Every structure is written in C-alpha cells, then in structure tokens.
Amino acid sequence: MALYYIIFVTSYLLCFVDFAKSKTDKLLVYLPYCVFITLIVAFRPVAIDNDSVAYQEMFVSYSTSTFDQIIAGGYGYVEQGYVFLNKIVFLLGGNFRVFLILIAFGTALFNYTFIFKHCGYIFISLLFYISFFYLYRDFTQIRYGLSAAICMWSLHCFFQKKYLYGLIISLVAVSFHSAAIIVPVAVVVVTFFRNHIWYILMPIPCFFIGKLLTLKLIFSFFGYGSDHMDIYLEDESLGSASISLIGYCICLIYFFLIKFRGALLDNSSIFIKTGDFYYKLVSIAVAMNFLFINISIFQRFSFILFQCTAILLSVSISLMAFRIKERYIFVIFYFLIATFLLFYGIRMINEDLVRPYTLFFL
C-alpha cells in the first residue's frame, strides 16, 4: 500500500507550489505529476479494485455484441456511450488494457485540465480531488468517474450561459452514466433560487428527512413489487455523512467570506460569480447527500455535484488571501485545510477498496 501513501503525501507537499508566482512554473510541476498518477491508474492490475473484474467481463461481452444488440440494450447492458466505447476499442484491435488506458487518460484529461484552468490554487484543488476521488472513482468506478469528469465541463458551459454546449456535453456524460442527469436539473435550481441564505438552510431539513427515508420506503410509495425492489436492495448500504459535513463547512466558510464586510467585494466580478455558482451546486450536493444518507445508490447524483467543491475551495482560499492581511496567518489556514485533506485521503487507503499495488505485467 506504500504507493498510495506516497501519492497522497506528494500531493500534499506539492501544495507549496501553489505559492509560486508563475503559472508556467506551476505547470512544469503539475503536468508531469498528473501524467504520473494517471499512469498508475492506467497500468494497475485487474482485480486490484472491486470493479475491474466486472468491467473486464463487460468488455468481453460487449466486444462480441452487434451494434443492433447494443442499440436495443436490455439486461447486461449499461449506458450506450460506455458500451459503444468498448466495442470501438475492440474493433480497432485493442484489448481490455488498452481500454483501461483510454479511460484513465480520458478521465484525467477532463479533470486535471479543468482544475488547472479554473482553480486559482491548483495544487490544493488537486489534493482535494486525489483525497476524495482518486482511489474511489479513478481506480474503481471508471464509468462513473469519466461521466463525472465530463460533467465539470458541462457545468462550466452552463455557467458561461452556453446552454446548448452545456446540454450537449451533459448528454455525452449521461451516455456513460445516468447519474449525470443531475447536471441540468441542478442548473435549473441554481437559476431560479438565487438567495445565498437559502442554500445554507436547505441542507438542514434534508438531514432530518434523510434519517427516515429508505429505499424500501420509496419503492413502497411508488408501488414497486418486492422482486424489483430486491435487485436494488441486495447490495444497498448506508452512505456517509462526513462528505456532507465537509461540503457544508466549506459552504459556510464561503458564505461568511462574502457576507462579512461584503461591501469590500465586487459582486459583479467573474470571480464572485464563479464562487456563487459553485457554492450553490455544492450546497445542493450536501442537501442531496443528507437526504439520501440511507440510500447510497442515490448519492451518486450528489457526488457529481460534490466534486465542484474543488473549485469552491480554491475560490474560498482566494477570498481568505484577500481578507487576511497577515500573510503567515493565511498560510497557516491554507495548510490546516491541506493537512485535513491529506488525513482524509489517507483514511481512504483500505484493502476493502484497493489492494496493494503492482504493475500488471510483473
């Protein structure tokens, strides 16, 4: 498991580079490191995580499927974009290893280019991503991970009011995982509910409702039979409130930073508008995660939005830098946050999630 610890600790130490003046200097560190951690994902052995064996079986099945069968779908078939990608890789002469490499670099390209382009504090945003999603998503839930990465660009298009592009990109994301359907829904909510305080209050009732809400209760309400219910209940487990609490704390920090002596800020600036947009999305994610705390399968919708915390965190840190006049106090706050992220990520290193790393060809 040593390699995982090395990756998390290195990601933490790279946060010092956030204080470099030149973005070019940051890129010279950021690019090779992102390539390195992507290669680790791409060349991992099958069965090192919980899902890769199933994905390998799916690749074999889909590679022998006809296009008519793929279009028809049915039992054993997931979203068609993912199935078609399996088929195309096979037709071009690739095997499952080639497919894993393609998914790893595709996911990384969407994620790491977004972080570099849109996060002011690049390396702490990268640390956030590594701590929350690297092992859980990039190693394990590769279909969901690629879809979520595409969603970040869809949300950015919606933020820029490029609605057609945003919709098209979100549909591409949905073709890999249906959880991406939450993107246009969340954008509609953000558009019509603009008051900041609403997003602070919204998660509170969701927390209490979520304590009572179960998947069995939902299916009973809609009248589904027990056979249908059992398919979903078989592997159902409780979700974790820790992610919601972390997201909610970051929302509170942002809310305080923009409201306390808010006259000092230019609320019409693209910087504040960016913060507001992602603050609302993270709050929706927190509320949904609380609401479905007993239904982990539904929490996949909230995690699509929760990844926006990487941008909100960067904006909040930038606001701290503006608000806190003593530089050393700001640096202390920065590394307190980074240290928390490091320890959270280290807690993810568990053999129930990933096994000790070896190269697939050794």
* For residue 229, pLDDT beyond 60: no
First to last CA, the chain: 16
pLDDT for residue 359 is more than 90: no
- Closest CA relative to residue 114, chosen from 173, 21, 34, 20: 34
Confidence of residue 262 (pLDDT cuts 50, 70, 90): low
Closest CA to 68 of 48, 49, 52, 84: 84
Q: What is the three-class DSSP state of 357?
A: coil
130 and 37 Cβ atoms separated by less than 8 Å: yes
- Per-residue confidence at 42, pLDDT binned at 50, 70, 90? very high
Q: For residue 64, with 0-12 CB atoms within 10 Å meaning exposed, 13-18 middle and 19 or more buried, which class applies?
A: exposed
Instruction: Calculate mean pLDDT across residues 338-345.
Output: 94
Is residue 226's pLDDT more than 80?
no
Segment 92-143, tens digit of pLDDT = 999 999 999 999 999 999 999 999 999 999 999 999 999 999 998 899 889 9
CB 87 within 8 A of CB 63: yes
Torsion of CA 160, 316, 339, 6, to 10 degrees: 20
Per-residue pLDDT, averaged over 38-45, amounts to 94
Q: CA nearest 129: which of 149, 150, 144, 143?
A: 149
| pTM over the 0.85 mark | yes
Please name the residues in contact with 118: beta carbons below 8 A apart, sequence gap of 6 or more: 156, 274, 311
Longest dimension (CA), the chain: 65
Angle at alpha carbon of residue 195, lines to 193 and 201, rounded to 5° = 95
pLDDT at site 263: 58
pLDDT in tens, 185-199: 999 999 999 888 999
176 class by beta-carbon count within 10 Å (0-12 exposed, 13-18 middle, 19+ buried): buried
